[in-house]
Amino acid sequence: MSDYAIGIFEELPTKNTVKKAIKNGQIRVNEQQATTGIYVEEGMVISLFEPPISLTPYPLEIEKVYEDDHLVVVSKPAGLPTNGNYYRTLEAALAHEYVLPKIAGALLSPRTVHRLDSPTTGLVIAAKTAKSRFLLGQQFEKGSIQKTYHALVMGETPASGVITTPIAGKEAMSTFQKVSAVRSPMNDYLTLLRLQPKTGRTHQLRIHCAASGFPIYGDQEYAEHTIQNKGLFLAATAIAFEHPITGANLEVTIALPAKFENRMKNEDKRWKRHRR
């Protein structure tokens, strides 16, 4: 059932969403609750029960970088969960002042089709219709959506590289290119990297950078010694994908947060004072 249901319900675009729906009792077979182990046979009546989800809007203005009737790409601020059982989330903020598009399959509020860690800032895609949500979910499942991040890391790095450290027993791959570096009295170097995850493991870039000997600046979970109370210096700065309805190739970008350049300038000044 978990394999068969992918693609027959637009509301369930990926294998994970299908498994979650089965676990929550939302998929029925012949009016009986389904299990993942059921083999689909001819004549079965398979239905989906999905109660309308209405989020309590959270009054927070979110920067919209790209928007049309089918989707919106926004810049998530650091410290805001993407979704989940909280009042203060990106999805709840998107429900604030939302204008329901007058097209078939419109959702009650935009639904994110992927996640960023709470301390990470940057671009997130949210679907406005069930069809867009389904098709974008398929793109993420196939790995055809290209995400680019920038991170400020502690230490000196090679000019470029590929990281393949497994995560939670699963294959994982990230590539990186050095953009610039400054000397730092605490870390010897602070290096700005451009990173692209080729797989989608939880905390992938944070784990990969730490495992490679250059943890992300401000990472309280994976860096042994780092700055406190300045946030995580990781930003999703570009995302490229195929528009789910028009088929057009879209690439949405944002500028690097100012705190990255400011921190590098401050560290460079501190190093020069330290060397006098």
Amino acid of residue 143: G
> Do 197 and 84 lie in a common domain?
no
Q: Are residues 159 and 230 in the same domain?
A: yes
Domain of 71? 63-143
pLDDT greater than 60 at residue 52:
no
In a domain, 156, yes or no: yes
Which DSSP symbol is given to 38?
Answer: P
186 and 155 both lie in a single domain: yes
Q: How many Cβ atoms are within 10 Å of 6's Cβ, its own excluded?
A: 18
Query: Does residue 196 contact residue 174 with C-beta atoms inside 8 Å?
Result: yes
Confidence at residue 10, expressed as pLDDT on a 0 to 100 scale: 59
Q: How confident is the model at residue 4 (pLDDT cuts 50, 70, 90)?
A: low
Q: Which range among 1-5, 28-32, 55-59, 97-101 shows the weakest confidence by mean pLDDT?
A: 1-5
The pLDDT tens digits for 102-134 are: 888 888 899 999 999 999 999 999 999 988 988
Catalytically active residues, by annotation: 117
The domain that holds 95 is classified in CATH as 3.30.2350.10
Q: Identify the CATH number of the domain in which residue 6 sits.
A: 3.10.290
